[in-house]
C-alpha cells in the first residue's frame, strides 16, 4: 500500500496525473481494480468484518509465535513456518524464523497470489500414527491441531521429566477420529457419531455464524474460531454449526453456563447423578487431578502433581506404566479442550479405563460400549 501511495505521489509530483483531474471529477484517483475485491469501500469479500473477529482469536492473541520460532515448532506456531511447510512439505529444522508473526490471514489463505480466499492447504492429513484425517476444509486445521507423538513411543514405565510431556497441547483431530490415545490392552474402544460423520468438522462447528440480530459477536463463531465466549456479559455458546448442519435439530446451552445441554448416557464419573456430557467428563478428569488435592495422580506414590495440581519436578523417579498411561490420557482429554464434545465415547472410555487402572474400586459399569 505504502509503495502504491508513494508511487502515486511521485506521479502527481511529476505532473503526470494532473491531466486526469483536468478532465473532470469522474476519476480523480484510480485505485487498482484488482485490489478492490478486498480493499475499498464496497468489497466482494468481508475483509474488515473477518478481521474484527480474527482480532479476538487465540490465533492472534496467544503469544506463541515468538518463542516457537525454531526446532520444528515454527511449522504450526508461526505464519512463516506454516507457509514454508505448505509450500515445500517440510520446515528446515535448523532455520530460525527471525521475525515470526502469529497465524494470520496469509497463513491460511494466499489472497495476494490467488486473488481470493481459497484455503492455502486443504488436502487430507496423515496423523502421527498414520491414520488419515479427511474432512474437507477442516483438513487445514488438522495440519496443526494434532498429536505430535504416539503413545506406543511414549507410554511405558519411566520417569516423567517435564510438565509439557504428552501428546502436545492440541490433539483435536485425533480425538475427533477416536484414535492415538493410550488404549489399555484387553479393552475395546469406539467412537461417537462425530468420529465418522463428514459434517462434524472443525469448520462447521467452530466457524458457522449465528444468523440473528444480537446473535453476532466478534468473539464467537467465524474467524474467532471460538464456540463459547462472553456475549453481553453472559457465557454464550454459538451452536449454529450443530443445528444448521442438520445434524442436531435442537441443541441448546445450559442457561448462563458454558455447557452444551446434552445429557450423558450414564453417570460416568460415579458421583451419583447423571449430568451433561461435559460435566461428566469434567468429573472424570477431577478424579485424576483436582483442586482439593485428592486426585489419583496427586495421591500416588512419588506423585507427579501436588495438592494444588502443580507439576512436581521429579526427574529420576520411575513411574509405573498405569500412572504414565493415565497421565497421557488425562492430558489428551484435557488439552483437547472440548470436555468430551468432540468424541464423547472415546474420551469417556479413555478416562474410565485410566481411573480403573489406578483405583480398582472405581465403578466402571456405566462405561459406554
Decide: is 146 part of the binding site for ligand HEC (CB under 6 A).
Answer: yes
Decide: is 155 part of the binding site for ligand HEC (CB under 6 A).
Answer: no
Decide: is 329 part of the binding site for ligand HEC (CB under 6 A).
Answer: no
* Contact yes or no for 255/266 (Cβ under 8 A): no
Q: How many residues does the chain have?
A: 369
Decide: is 45 part of the binding site for ligand HEC (CB under 6 A).
Answer: yes
- Residue list 18-37, contact with ligand HEC (CB under 6 A): 32, 34-35, 37
Q: Rounded distance, CA 81 to CA 68, Å?
A: 10
Measured from the CB atom, the residue of 194 and 287 that comes closer to ligand HEC is 194
* Contact yes or no for 91/84 (Cβ under 8 A): yes
Please give the sequence-ordered ranges of beta strands (E in DSSP) within the chain, or none if there are none: 125-126, 132-133, 228-231, 234-237
Decide: is 62 part of the binding site for ligand HEC (CB under 6 A).
Answer: yes
Taking residues 208 to 227 in sequence order and writing x for each that binds ligand HEC by CB under 6 A, - otherwise, the string is: ---------------x-xxx
- Helix and strand numbers (H, E) in the chain are 17, 4
CB of 54 to ligand HEC, least distance (A): 4
Measured from the CB atom, the residue of 261 and 359 that comes closer to ligand HEC is 261
Measured from the CB atom, the residue of 75 and 179 that comes closer to ligand HEC is 75
CB of 221 to ligand HEC, least distance (A): 10
Q: 104-136 burial string, b = 16+ CB within 10 Å, else e?
A: ebbbbbbbeeeeebebbbbeebebbeeeebebe
Largest CA distance in the chain: 90
Decide: is 194 part of the binding site for ligand HEC (CB under 6 A).
Answer: yes
Q: Which of 69, 338, 344, 354 binds ligand HEC (CB under 6 A)?
A: 338
Decide: is 176 part of the binding site for ligand HEC (CB under 6 A).
Answer: yes
Q: Which span (136-144, 290-298, 322-330, 347-355) binds ligand HEC, by CB under 6 A?
A: 136-144
* Contact yes or no for 194/200 (Cβ under 8 A): yes
Q: Which span (5-13, 68-76, 302-310, 315-323) binds ligand HEC, by CB under 6 A?
A: 68-76
Cell matching residue 313 = 519436578
- Residue list 95-134, contact with ligand HEC (CB under 6 A): 102-105, 107-109, 111-112, 115-117, 119
CB of 90 to ligand HEC, least distance (A): 11
Q: Rounded distance, CA 352 to CA 360, Å?
A: 11
- Our CA angle for 211, 216, 219, nearest 5°, is 135
Measured from the CB atom, the residue of 77 and 331 that comes closer to ligand HEC is 77
Among the listed residues 311, 319, 307, the one whose alpha carbon sits nearest the alpha carbon of residue 358? 319
Q: Rounded distance, CA 332 to CA 151, Å?
A: 11
Taking residues 263 to 302 in sequence order and writing x for each that binds ligand HEC by CB under 6 A, - otherwise, the string is: ----------------------------------------
Amino acid at each position: 500500500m505504502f509503495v502504491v501511495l508513494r508511487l502515486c505521489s511521485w506521479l502527481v509530483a511529476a505532473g503526470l496525473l494532473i491531466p486526469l483531474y483536468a478532465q473532470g471529477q469522474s476519476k480523480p484517483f484510480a485505485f487498482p481494480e484488482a485490489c478492490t475485491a478486498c480493499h475499498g469501500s464496497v468489497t466482494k469479500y468481508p475483509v474488515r468484518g473477518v478481521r474484527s473477529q480474527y482480532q479476538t482469536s487465540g490465533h492472534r492473541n496467544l503469544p506463541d509465535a515468538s518463542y516457537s520460532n525454531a526446532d520444528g515448532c515454527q511449522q504450526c506456531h508461526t505464519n512463516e513456518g506454516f507457509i514454508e511447510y505448505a509450500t515445500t512439505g517440510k520446515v528446515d529444522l535448523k532455520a530460525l524464523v527471525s521475525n515470526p508473526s502469529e497465524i494470520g490471514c496469509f497463513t491460511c489463505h494466499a489472497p495476494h497470489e490467488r486473488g481470493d480466499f481459497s484455503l492455502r492447504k486443504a488436502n487430507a492429513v496423515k496423523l502421527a500414527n498414520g491414520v488419515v484425517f479427511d474432512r474437507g476444509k477442516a483438513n487445514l486445521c488438522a495440519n496443526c491441531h494434532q498429536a505430535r507423538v504416539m503413545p506406543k513411543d511414549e507410554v511405558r514405565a519411566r520417569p516423567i521429566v517435564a510438565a509439557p510431556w504428552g501428546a502436545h497441547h492440541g490433539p483435536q483431530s485425533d480425538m475427533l477420529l477416536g484414535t492415538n490415545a493410550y488404549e489399555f490392552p484387553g479393552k475395546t474402544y469406539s467412537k461417537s457419531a462425530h468420529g465418522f460423520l463428514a459434517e462434524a468438522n472443525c469448520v462447521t462447528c467452530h466457524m458457522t455464524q449465528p444468523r440473528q440480530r444480537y446473535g453476532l459477536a466478534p468473539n464467537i463463531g467465524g474467524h474467532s474460531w471460538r464456540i463459547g465466549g462472553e456475549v453481553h456479559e453472559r457465557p454464550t455458546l454459538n451452536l449454529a454449526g450443530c443445528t444448521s448442519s442438520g445434524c442436531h435439530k435442537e441443541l441448546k446451552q445450559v442457561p448462563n453456563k458454558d455447557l452444551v445441554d446434552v445429557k450423558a448416557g450414564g453417570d460416568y464419573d460415579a458421583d451419583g447423578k447423571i449430568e451433561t456430557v461435559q460435566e461428566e467428563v469434567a468429573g472424570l478428569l477431577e478424579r485424576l487431578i483436582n483442586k482439593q488435592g485428592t486426585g489419583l495422580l496427586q495421591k500416588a506414590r512419588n506423585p507427579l502433581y501436588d495438592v494444588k495440581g502443580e507439576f512436581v519436578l521429579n526427574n529420576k523417579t520411575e513411574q509405573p506404566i498405569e500412572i504414565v498411561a493415565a497421565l497421557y490420557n488425562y492430558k489428551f482429554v484435557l488439552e483437547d479442550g472440548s470436555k468430551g464434545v468432540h468424541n464423547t465415547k472415546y474420551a469417556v472410555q479413555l478416562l474410565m479405563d485410566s481411573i480403573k487402572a489406578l483405583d480398582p474400586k472405581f465403578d466402571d459399569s456405566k462405561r459406554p460400549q
